[in-house]
Structure 1
């Protein structure tokens, strides 16, 4: 029998979870309920709202919009087949992208040419995961699905 250390076991469980999602081919199955990944739980909405309404919904659930701080988490987020709001905005200062917890963006997964703040003269201050598997800046009033994130309880 093979014995695995905590981090290795957790990584293998995460890999198995991602594999099961890939094999499922119906990622929308997870909408409307909490999905575990690493040390967090994620809620994938089944309706569309503006960025602020989405954030308000997350806060009402004891969570916030998703913060992506690793390649693994970016890969996990791309398993869902619709555009979704994430917790990234430059509303406070144009061009300075900041996560909802106040940390500045340092690693990003923008689509080529993004962020471009280009929507017929309207400022695009909120970030979404685009169906092309990268990030896109959008007008915050656009209706979108969203992903909440909260720490998993031990």
Structure 2
């Protein structure tokens, strides 16, 4: 009878060890999922980089319509703040297309403005050589030119192009 009690006691200790181990593993999984949520996430088809999410439109439209499409998704046309951001974005693009940026010169007087009111800085710009070059082209796009690679170009706002939308990551 004593031996049966000892065996039963060993069984209970093992069972409790398994229960505690499972609780520790579940807790670890919960903590990891919370940390991931604190870091932020992007909607399914959006690409994450830094504190933002990016959507590359497959549809071509005018600049104003492209901005409205971005707004409809809770975003705006992309604002490029760093070379690292520019490098990330161009890796997502197809070289055969041109993509609207959230940069425009509404008066055609060289006063370029970002759509989110970020100050336009001369040191954070990636214009192709000799661009912008025509005051009637009041919107900016990023385009690949064989001899020059990726860079910005001033374009007519009423031309149809693909676009890049940007939103801040969602933090839960």
TM bracket (short chain): 0.7 to 0.9
TM-score between both structures, scaled by the size of structure 1: 0.73
Q: CA deviation at 1:94?
A: 1.8
* Unaligned 5+ runs, structure 1: 1-31
1:127 correspondence with 2:156: no
1:38 correspondence with 2:50: yes
How far apart are the structure 2 equivalents of 1:93 and 1:104? 17
Q: CA deviation at 1:93?
A: 5.5
2:66 alignment partner, SS class? helix
How far apart are the structure 2 equivalents of 1:124 and 1:33? 31
CA contact (8 A) 1:58 1:148 kept: yes
Give 1:84's match in structure 2, choosing from 99, 102, 106.
99
- Residue 83 of structure 2: aligned partner: 71
Distance 1:111 1:37, change over 3 A: same
Count of equivalent residues: 119
Give 2:119's match in structure 1, choosing from 98, 104, 112.
104
TM-score between both structures, scaled by the size of structure 2: 0.66
Per-residue displacement from partner, 1:16-63 (whole Å, max 9, x unpaired)? xxxxxxxxxxxxxxxx93111111111110110000000000001000
Q: Which has the higher helix share?
A: 2
CA contact (8 A) 1:96 1:104 kept: no
CA contact (8 A) 2:113 2:119 kept: yes
CA contact (8 A) 1:33 1:44 kept: no
CA contact (8 A) 1:86 1:127 kept: yes
Q: CA deviation at 1:153?
A: 1.0
CA contact (8 A) 2:53 2:168 kept: yes
- Residue 59 of structure 1: aligned partner: 71
CA contact (8 A) 1:97 1:104 kept: no
